[in-house]
Amino acid sequence: MSAPAASAVRNAAAAVCDPEFPGITIEDLGVLEDVRVGPGGVVSVDLLPTFLGCPALDVIAGDVEAAVATVPGVGDVSVRYLTAPAWTPERITAKGRDKLAAEFTVAIRRRDELSCPVCTSTAVEDVSPFGPTACRAVAYCPECRNPIEVMRR
């Protein structure tokens, strides 16, 4: 079988969604670092964990492996997590930012500024550095009175 196209392999990996943010891909989140296709269709994928203790790491790696394996010509697939460079919320793409805000009421602090994903007010108040997941803190918008979550670095 002929070698798989590198772009097709990358697209397959890039389309995998975060299990806790359906519709938001690992590419949107900046988790997908590198995809390499070697001789014999051997594929290696490098991912960056948002947090080392994230319970979704194995699930994401498994989903990436399964997605890449469906591309014709792909042989062995290996997925690994790198500890450098460190993932930061700046890695989230513009598309990812918009989707997180519009669909999940999750904000990203940019240049120390935080705007409310519901009403765009910048008067957002930090409430707790701990939210439902390791990667998110809790804040509150006094303008529209919605609790919101903020991606942590």
Per-position DSSP letters for 42-79, written without gaps between them: -EEEEE--SSTT-TTHHHHHHHHHHHHHTSTT---EEE
Q: What is the distance between the alpha carbons of residues 45 and 27, in angstroms, rounded to a whole number?
A: 12
Q: Are 25 and 15 in contact (CB under 8 A)?
A: yes
Q: Of these, 1, 2, 22, 39, which contacts another protein (CB under 8 A)?
A: 22
Site for another protein in 57-116 (CB under 8 A): 58-59, 103-106
Q: Of these, 3, 8, 20, 44, which contacts another protein (CB under 8 A)?
A: 20
Residue whose structure tokens are 């303008």: 143
Q: What is the distance between the alpha carbons of residues 137 and 92, in angstroms, rounded to a whole number?
A: 16
Which region among 13-21, 72-80, 82-90, 91-99 touches another protein (by CB under 8 A)? 13-21
Site for another protein in 113-132 (CB under 8 A): 118, 127-128, 130-132
Residues engaged in binding another protein (CB under 8 A): 19-22, 53-56, 58-59, 103-106, 118, 127-128, 130-134, 136, 138, 140, 144-147, 149
